[in-house]
Structure 1
Amino acid sequence: MLNAGLGGWPARRAAMSPDRTAFVFRDRATTYAEVFDRTTRLARQLRAAGVRKGDRVAYLGQNHPAFVETMFATHMLGGIFVPLNFRLAAPEIDYLLAHSGATVLVHAPEHAPEHAFGQAVRTVVALGPDYENWLAAGDPTPVDVPVGLDDAACVLYTSGTTGRPKGATLTHGNLIWNCYNLLVGVDVAADEVTLVSAPLFHVAALNQCLLPTFLKGGCSVIMPSWSVDACFDLIAGHRVTWMFGVTTMFAGLARSPRWAGADLSSVRCLMAGGAAVPPALIHTYQERGLTFCQGYGLTETAPGATFLEAGESERKAGSAGVPVFFTNVRCVRPDLTDTAPGEPGEVIIQGPNVTPGYWDDPAATARAFSEGRWFHSGDIAYVDPDGHFHIVDRVKDMYISGGENVYPAEVEAAVYEHPAVAEVAVIGVPDATWGEVGRAFVITVPGRDLTIGELRAFLAERLARYKLPVHLDIVDDLPRTGSNKIQKSRLRDTLGSTPGRT
């Protein structure tokens, strides 16, 4: 086979396990043989629409098997897949389509772009009857285009917290080496039943869950969107063995009235990433006898950089683990010398899973790397004497109070231990005396209340005084990104909308 990239996977997996279930979506099962047939037909239709090697094909919509079909069909032709965040506004979608130069867009009907028809996009297909008819009319003759590991596979746009989003280019090699790293750290089995609960346009759901499961011939149960109740139902109904989530998703499950009685007996491993996970939340899952593993990575590292394997998940709870097998990770000072154990520094990463750069943005690419192709994450961590990485926070989220660095993730982990707290986010806000102080936004456990005095008294034995929040906002919800991470930029933008309790 000439295609050494992901475009060859449907054919290889169909040859090895044609009758195994590849995907379950809304109780409809699709076998690996059917995946190969459908993606081949779709690839032929994309070719008829003018897609050639290097062309971009975009997808806009919630999780759906068509996302995966569009991706594999694009890769069969040597094209570049561009998954879009469906929660973005129309002008933001327009920008991403224009910046990527996508010529074909497959989208869910409820996420129809407003202006894509007037741009470079020549073919727009909505899911439903139009998509199914278009696919079914495709020629089932296999396509085999030469694709190498260094060829671009995807452009994944970052959240754009500062300025315009950047498109991280990931090659086929980046994605495949990431799968190797994941499979070394997690015992993914051929009978795995993986719950794909985070958005597939997010790098972790796609590359840490769905692709490794596909590679092993397991079954991916695809959730259209996140729902606590649906998650419990799918775990029990399909005997889910493995799932990935971010802190807010796992916190939502743990505070649900169904938590105590939920059937989680089939689950072999839970994997968290996206942000530091409070140890108190990890212990909540461990008390149920569940293996809870935390990893660390970025879109630009495809995403795995470090991982805490199951055998260490209790002893090192709260750690993001050690560098994944085929990747180098360091914690460095500004002069790029390695930090001492326990000393905070920036995380930098080097390896075959690291992006070659940003799409059509050589300046951003140059800024992201130092000599030796070390990628600078912008994240702060420290390494303990055993070599385990502990993610402290984003550089941009750190604030300085009275001349001291404060890392909100550390404060959040301590706040989370309070029995009245269901979720929390902490940011730095201006203060006339100290320069900046902490402001905590808390969702309380139903029936519980909390004052700033009570919170500060609780934290006084856990944190230095300068780290204690000065302001407290009790809120009903927290703004979230498309991947369910808390969006602190929006908290900063809307400080005046919710009265703080001081």
Structure 2
Amino acid sequence: MNQFRPGATMPSGIGTWVRNRRTKSARQPAILFSGEVQTYDALSDRIDRLASGLSSQGIAKGDRVAYLGSNHPSLIETMLASALLGAVFVPLNTRLTEIEISYQLEHSSARMLILSPEHRATGEAAAKTAGVRDVVPLAEEYERLLHNGRAPAPVEVDLHDPAVIIYTSGTTGHPKGAVLTHGNLTWNALNVIVDYDVTSKTRALMISPLFHAAALGMGALPTLLKGGLLLLEERFDPSQALRAIEEHRVTSLSGVPTTFQLLMEDPTWDATDLSSLQSLTCGGSAVPSRVRDEYERRGLQFSSGYGLTESSPGVTCLPSQYSSTHGQSSGLAHFFTEVRIGESAHDAAGEIEVRGPNVFSGYWQDPIATSSAFTDDGWLRTGDVGIIDEAGFLTIVGRSKDMIISGGENIYCAEVEHAILTIPGVTGAAVIGVPHERWGEVPHALVTLEPGARLDRDWFVEQLSSTLARYKVPRTVDVLEDLPRTATGKVRKHVLLAQVLNGQAPNL
């Protein structure tokens, strides 16, 4: 058992990272946003003064401080200033409705909400309903908090103390608040640094929202810990992202398959200098072969990975050197993390289970859900189904809850979706189960197509029948302009199911 206990003069939380980095990298750029650079010296000073301002408003250890806004330096400042005080940061998804935001504010018992101008009306209304004590809009009132602030007295923060509460996407029912401790985030950052070779020379373009665990845990925190540069973009615009890569010599870029697809479909793709890129990390699902091929044509290879909010979020990573031989795999377990397959009824497929110091402490105010999230011997049950081969590579088969039972046969949607994405002209795919009088339910496909492409149902079925067992092949398909997604890039299948059952999708 670790006998070291951080004292008042040596807090161990993530809030100290930039303060400590200041002594080593004071003049190095930490954040680039909207053409303005913050050095580590300047960022540390603002974090200290904000922590003092929060303290003057009564924020203390254990209090929850929420943030509603797109990627912005103030999000990083609020998170780390809260951590310095031992308070808990609650980033909110900007795509949520007022009712959803109000629920999360009330459920987390947030004492303060910091919010950006574009979300002020929604945030203030939600905060009023939830009974939040203090609402601090950017930028005037926020800057006033920093104006007279001084470096606060150190607060003892244990690695087991909560640092962040991130609410799950809530695609079914109310979202749950995953509590990530200072230790969880620290060990996850170490995993990323080791497995993705993050250095002080890293220039990470952050185009995914920082209110999500992936961008926060896999991008922002490891880069700051190593003294690299974060280039923050408020929102993803393919043309702007490509300009930033060329102009600022970006070395690291992460996203979901759709992100990389949109980049390569942008008119400026071929003309953009991508020679600075060293790391492309794709999560959410396997990189489609045609996307991988196009990036390889430009001399770029993907590192992919698998994770979930509850593991801070990294579980596995596939280094780029394995992209050609294990391209459909999610890779190997992170350095300080263990992965296993739970008991399965047949074959080698089973529920993916995870153990390690990056695995969360539980769900906020939900002991029942917390208990059910773990096995009797302490492994996190992910709810995802996978296979681990003899070399340790994990392949995702599907979600245990994203499975169709048709005539007694199990159909994993992820397998069918991957097959659909190999069909020429298809850019996106989702498979759902729809009621069937004889079979109980059958798979139904919803796809998006390249501009000008058309899809014939019989040809579609024929293409899939060459790679999938007959019972797995969707006999009906809808062509949509876009698939509804969560901020993490996951398809909102409950929305699609409602549209299909209500006859709102154009069936072929």
Is 1:480 the counterpart of 2:491 in the alignment? no
Equivalent pair of 1:346/1:376 in contact (CA under 8 Å):
yes
Q: Deviations over 1:7-27 (max 9, x none)?
A: 111210111101111111111
Q: How far apart are the structure 1 equivalents of 2:83 and 2:505?
A: 51
Q: Which of residues 430, 438, 442 in structure 1 aligns to 2:443?
A: 438
Q: Secondary structure at the match of 2:243?
A: helix
**CA apart distance, 1:282:** 2.8
Q: Matches of residues 161-240 of structure 1 in structure 2 within 5 Å?
A: 161-240=171-250
Say which is worse superposed, 253-262 or 166-175, in terms of deviation: 253-262
Q: Matches of residues 299-378 of structure 1 in structure 2 within 5 Å?
A: 299-333=309-343, 343-378=348-383
Q: How far apart are the structure 2 equivalents of 1:376 and 1:256?
A: 39
Say which is worse superposed, 81-90 or 309-318, in terms of deviation: 309-318
Say which is worse superposed, 120-129 or 60-69, in terms of deviation: 120-129
* Unpaired segments ≥5 residues, structure 1: none
**CA apart distance, 1:440:** 1.6
Equivalent pair of 2:205/2:233 in contact (CA under 8 Å):
yes
Q: How far apart are the structure 1 equivalents of 2:469 and 2:288?
A: 18
2:46 paired residue number: 38
Q: Which of residues 253, 258, 261 in structure 2 aligns to 1:248?
A: 258
Say which is worse superposed, 324-333 or 170-179, in terms of deviation: 324-333
Q: Secondary structure at the match of 1:130?
A: helix
Q: How far apart are the structure 2 equivalents of 1:232 and 1:400?
A: 43
Q: Matches of residues 399-418 of structure 1 in structure 2 within 5 Å?
A: 399-418=404-423
2:471 paired residue number: 466
Q: Secondary structure at the match of 1:370?
A: coil
Q: How far apart are the structure 2 equivalents of 1:53 and 1:302?
A: 21
Q: Secondary structure at the match of 1:221?
A: strand
2:127 paired residue number: 116
Equivalent pair of 1:280/1:416 in contact (CA under 8 Å):
no
Is 1:104 the counterpart of 2:112 in the alignment? yes
Q: Secondary structure at the match of 2:164?
A: strand
Q: State the AA in 1 paired with 2:507.
A: R
**CA apart distance, 1:118:** 5.2
Is 1:392 the counterpart of 2:397 in the alignment? yes
Q: How far apart are the structure 2 equivalents of 1:93 and 1:312?
A: 41
Q: State the AA in 2 paired with 1:416.
A: L
Is 1:283 the counterpart of 2:296 in the alignment? no
Q: Deviations over 1:359-399 (max 9, x none)?
A: 11101101111122111000011112322000111111111
Q: How far apart are the structure 1 equivalents of 2:163 and 2:469?
A: 47
Say which is worse superposed, 405-414 or 87-96, in terms of deviation: 405-414
Report the CA distance shift for 1:499/1:75 in structure 2 as closer, same or farther (over 3 A).
Answer: closer
Q: Which of residues 162, 176, 184 in structure 2 aligns to 1:152?
A: 162
TM-score (norm 2): 0.94
Is 1:129 the counterpart of 2:140 in the alignment? yes
Equivalent pair of 2:54/2:145 in contact (CA under 8 Å):
no
Report the CA distance shift for 1:281/1:433 in structure 2 as closer, same or farther (over 3 A).
Answer: farther
1:94 paired residue number: 102
Q: State the AA in 2 paired with 1:31.
A: T
Q: Which of residues 51, 57, 66 in structure 2 aligns to 1:49?
A: 57
Q: How far apart are the structure 2 equivalents of 1:57 and 1:100?
A: 9
TM-score (norm 1): 0.95
Q: How many residues align?
A: 496
**CA apart distance, 1:497:** 4.7
Equivalent pair of 2:18/2:225 in contact (CA under 8 Å):
no
Q: Secondary structure at the match of 2:401?
A: helix
Equivalent pair of 1:248/1:485 in contact (CA under 8 Å):
no
Equivalent pair of 2:499/2:505 in contact (CA under 8 Å):
no
Q: How far apart are the structure 2 equivalents of 1:426 and 1:259?
A: 30
* Percent of residue pairs bearing the same amino acid type: 45
Report the CA distance shift for 1:252/1:402 in structure 2 as closer, same or farther (over 3 A).
Answer: farther
Q: State the AA in 2 paired with 1:93.
A: I
Q: Which of residues 469, 486, 507 in structure 2 aligns to 1:501?
A: 507
1:78 paired residue number: 86
Q: How far apart are the structure 1 equivalents of 2:353 and 2:475?
A: 33
Q: Which of residues 384, 395, 398 in structure 2 aligns to 1:379?
A: 384
2:3 paired residue number: none
Report the CA distance shift for 1:73/1:31 in structure 2 as closer, same or farther (over 3 A).
Answer: same
**CA apart distance, 1:253:** 1.9
**CA apart distance, 1:129:** 2.5
Report the CA distance shift for 1:68/1:311 in structure 2 as closer, same or farther (over 3 A).
Answer: same
Task: Write out the 4+ residue segments of structure 1 that deviate beyond 4 Å after TM superposition.
Answer: none
**CA apart distance, 1:255:** 3.0
1:298 paired residue number: 308
Equivalent pair of 1:282/1:318 in contact (CA under 8 Å):
no
Q: Secondary structure at the match of 1:396?
A: coil
Q: How far apart are the structure 2 equivalents of 1:189 and 1:467?
A: 45
Q: How far apart are the structure 2 equivalents of 1:118 and 1:468?
A: 47
Equivalent pair of 1:271/1:294 in contact (CA under 8 Å):
yes
**CA apart distance, 1:109:** 1.5
Q: State the AA in 1 paired with 2:151.
A: T
**CA apart distance, 1:315:** 1.6
2:6 paired residue number: none
Q: How far apart are the structure 1 equivalents of 2:232 and 2:432?
A: 34
Q: Deviations over 1:325-373 (max 9, x none)?
A: 11111011258xxx86xx2110011111111110111011011111221
Is 1:67 the counterpart of 2:67 in the alignment? no
Report the CA distance shift for 1:259/1:411 in structure 2 as closer, same or farther (over 3 A).
Answer: farther
Q: How far apart are the structure 2 equivalents of 1:167 and 1:310?
A: 33
Is 1:7 the counterpart of 2:12 in the alignment? no
Equivalent pair of 2:238/2:266 in contact (CA under 8 Å):
yes
**CA apart distance, 1:142:** 4.2
Q: How far apart are the structure 2 equivalents of 1:348 and 1:460?
A: 32
What is the RMSD computed on CA atoms of the aligned residues? 1.6
Q: State the AA in 2 paired with 1:241.
A: T
Q: State the AA in 2 paired with 1:13.
A: R
* Unpaired segments ≥5 residues, structure 2: 1-8
